[in-house]
Amino acid sequence: MIVIEKVKRIALIGPESSGKTTLCKQLAEHYHTQWVPEYSREHVAELNRKYTLQDIEHCYREQLKQEKELINKANQFIFSDTELIVAKVWCEDVFKTAPEWIEKNIEPEKYDLYLLTFYDLPWLHDPVRENPHRREFFYEWYKRELESRNFPYKIIKGEGEKRFRNALDAIMRS
Residue 13's φ and ψ, nearest 5 degrees, are: -135, 140
pLDDT, residue 4, reads: 54
Distance CA 127, CA 73 (A): 32
Amino acid at 61: R
Distance CA 59, CA 163 (A): 28
3-state secondary structure labels for all residues of the chain? CCCCCCCEEEEEECCCCCCHHHHHHHHHHHHCCEEECCHHHHHHHHCCCCCCHHHHHHHHHHHHHHHHHHHHHCECEEEECCCHHHHHHHHHHHHCCCCHHHHHHHCCCCCCEEEEECCCCCCCCCCCCCCCCCHHHHHHHHHHHHHHCCCCEEEECCCHHHHHHHHHHHHHHC
Q: Please give the mean pLDDT across all residues of the chain.
A: 94
Which fold would CATH assign to domain 8-173? Rossmann fold (3.40.50)
| In contact, 5 and 88? CB cutoff 8 Å | no
Domain boundaries defined on the chain: 8-173
| In contact, 11 and 80? CB cutoff 8 Å | yes
Q: Are strands 77-80 and 34-36 parallel, antiparallel or unpaired?
A: parallel
Write out the chain's pLDDT in tens, 174 residues: 555 579 999 999 999 999 999 999 999 999 999 999 999 988 888 888 899 999 999 999 999 999 999 999 999 999 999 999 999 999 999 999 999 999 999 999 999 999 999 999 999 887 777 888 999 999 999 999 999 999 999 999 999 999 999 999 999 998
Distance CA 7, CA 71 (A): 7
pLDDT, residue 125, reads: 80
